[in-house]
Structure 1
């Protein structure tokens, strides 16, 4: 009950907005092609779960797969930049260029190069989630506890031992933040790629149903994507809290 009250306290504005939306649609009698009521969207999701299940699993799989690849590549390059400041500066400059490129501009370029396939979708998610892993990882590897660097130098520890026993454990809280940030954007990037390339998933379901003027199902796909993104974000936030407690 306590968590339910806290949830209602945080989301009362959304509930009020949906209630006003439902009331407005009920009183206006607009055609369903123009606007649909929230309860109609929920009814479509509940009565046709199989139509949403496979696209949701598709989007979830590519979100997590692209996130895993992007985070792994980001952390590996962060380690390389930790070993070489010159390489780190070059990688950071390239990462900033990548971050400044809107995903809707990047997807057509990648699709032209690699084709309108699911492989390109995975590559897009990996590229857009690479930046948090690299930036937060590189910052965490250099943010060492006080005097620990001098202590390892006194012990004449090798570079590999400093990395495994000092730098990586110190970087874990920053890597947890990178995971949370990457998780927040992974579903959005995946759905956008699916919408533009129509490879499958919730983005493809949204594109097809909008072309068919099935606004109820298109909004249903959007809501499922929002719920999926929220769940992944909350899981990543929960993991971040545990990691901070473990490595503080």
Structure 2
């Protein structure tokens, strides 16, 4: 694990060094492609200009992610327990992801206004699908022999679900959570483009309209950092909850 992280750090640092040298030697204008040092300087010196934007995006992301996780889990459980409902609604579940969010977003603004509701709906739409699909697959992959043994022992459907199927689906659930954690930040930024007073999306829009490319890169930098932080939190929770699972290194 450490070696993989170490290699990734070397690649990232190498790219930044090449970027910095190329910007200096080729005299690329800052408004086209600022050097990494210029971006970092902007990030540190003007922190007071955008710290409230970051806090707003974090709050919006966490709220939408929580709603998306709840909706995804409820849909997955419903479709698993009711096979006939799954046959009817699963195609609609897939079709819901074929509609581009950037196209659906203006409709949500028309229907619900410029408040927080359409923004939460956008984040929920991009978050619930990976969780629902991953959880459904995890529930379906439960060992049928174990289900047969529990039925022979007199277990009810509720006991089979809560004590066997649901715990068996937790690894797949975390796979969906990892994807949704990164999607939630993207959804929050897209929702802020529609019409918000603050947020990283608003800061990025204002920076691009004024040709402050360095500030656009600062916004991109913080978006990447938020995605990595949320992803790391999910991975940490997965390791704490799934201690019983053998590690990849032990399987080799």
Fold conserved between structures, TM > 0.5: yes
TM-score of the aligned structures, taking structure 2 as reference length: 0.89
Q: Alpha-carbon deviations, 1:126-164, whole Å to 9, x = none?
A: 111010121111111222235221122223322222221
In the aligned structure 2, how far is the partner of 1:230 from the partner of 1:46? 20
Q: Report 1:134-145 matches (<5 A).
A: 134-145=132-143
**Post-superposition, which runs of at least 4 consecutive aligned residues in structure 1 deviate over 4 A?**
none
Q: Cα RMSD between the aligned structures?
A: 2.1
Deviation at 1:204, TM superposition (A): 0.8
In the aligned structure 1, how far is the partner of 2:103 from the partner of 2:214? 28
TM-score of the aligned structures, taking structure 1 as reference length: 0.90
Answer yes or no: is the 8 Å Cα contact 1:72–1:133 preserved in 2: no
In the aligned structure 2, how far is the partner of 1:196 from the partner of 1:219? 20
Q: Which residue matches 2:238?
A: 240
Deviation at 1:11, TM superposition (A): 3.0
Q: Which residue matches 1:179?
A: 177
Answer yes or no: is the 8 Å Cα contact 1:169–1:247 preserved in 2: no
SS at match of 2:33: coil
Q: Report 1:180-199 matches (<5 A).
A: 180-199=178-197
Q: Which residue matches 2:111?
A: 113
Q: Which residue matches 1:14?
A: 12
In the aligned structure 2, how far is the partner of 1:13 from the partner of 1:216? 22
Q: Which residue matches 1:29?
A: 27
Answer yes or no: is the 8 Å Cα contact 2:119–2:191 preserved in 1: yes
Q: Alpha-carbon deviations, 1:166-212, whole Å to 9, x = none?
A: 22111111111111111121111211221233452111100011112
Runs of 5+ consecutive residues of structure 1 not aligned to the other structure: none
